[in-house]
Amino acid sequence: MMLETICRYLNNYFETERVFDTFTISSGGISGASSDLSQKLVDGRFFRIAGSVFNDGVYMYPTTGLLKDETFEGAVWLLAIPDEFLKLVDDIKVWQGKYGSAVQSPFSSETVAGVYSYTKSASSGSSGGGVTWKDAFADRLRIWRRIV
């Protein structure tokens, strides 16, 4: 999920609270053995699961059909992701859909007109290839970076 990738890259999940417990995920719901998440996980709230075998990641509640049943010792992070940041994530998704596959290629052009020819990309982006979403959105991402 792109949201989690960007949060990890920025080292910022916009967490408001971490709940440590033994959690059970069943039928798409999550509950703690000694903690009550029912008042905290409300519709539209983002949260992160950490320490799970099958479900580590960032989700929006409710998670219908996304979580696999399991019991694990770990943490649920309650997140407060700003709308402005979510808009940035959407913009990156659009950009990635449009240019992402071109960034993966080591070639800037290929031609098959009787004879195959290609031009290799110059190393200009942060990945050593073309411009990535990290490069294209560097200015907008910078304000959200969390330095620990």
Question: Does residue 147 belong to any structural domain of this protein?
Answer: no
Domain count, the chain: 2
What is the per-residue pLDDT for 32? 92
- Other beta carbons within 10 angstroms of residue 48's beta carbon come to 19
Write out pLDDT tens, residues 11-70: 999 999 999 999 999 988 899 999 889 889 999 999 999 999 999 999 999 998 899 999
pTM of the model as a whole: 0.80
Q: Are residues 133 and 92 in the same domain?
A: yes
- Torsion angle of the four alpha carbons 98, 58, 42, 61, in this order, in degrees rounded to the nearest 10: 60
User: Distance (Å, rounded) from C-alpha 13 to C-alpha 58?
Assistant: 9
Q: Are residues 35 and 50 in the same domain?
A: yes
Question: Does residue 90 belong to any structural domain of this protein?
Answer: yes
What is the per-residue pLDDT for 112? 67
Q: Which two tokens stand for residue 96?
A: 């990635």
Question: Does residue 129 belong to any structural domain of this protein?
Answer: yes
Q: Which two tokens stand for residue 94?
A: 């659009």
Q: Are residues 42 and 101 in the same domain?
A: no
Write out pLDDT tens, residues 57-110: 999 999 988 999 999 999 999 999 999 999 999 999 999 999 887 665 555 555
Q: Are residues 99 and 67 in the same domain?
A: no
List strand residue ranges (DSSP E) for the chain, in order.
15-26, 29-32, 46-50, 57-60, 70-79, 107-113, 115-120
Choose one of 36, 52, 79: the last residue of a domain: 79
User: Distance (Å, rounded) from C-alpha 21 to C-alpha 92?
Assistant: 34
Q: Are residues 66 and 117 in the same domain?
A: no
What is the per-residue pLDDT for 10? 97
Is pLDDT at 136 greater than 80 in this prediction?
A: yes
What is the per-residue pLDDT for 72? 97
Q: Are residues 75 and 87 in the same domain?
A: no
Choose one of 56, 79, 102: the last residue of a domain: 79
Instruction: Please answer whether residues 15 and 79 qualify as being in contact, where contact means their C-beta atoms are separated by less than 8 angstroms.
Output: yes
**Sign (positive/negative) of CA torsion 17, 63, 89, 104?**
positive
Ramachandran angles phi, psi of 105, nearest 5°: -80, 140
Confidence of residue 114 (pLDDT cuts 50, 70, 90): low
Q: Are residues 47 and 8 in the same domain?
A: yes
Range of the domain at 131: 83-142
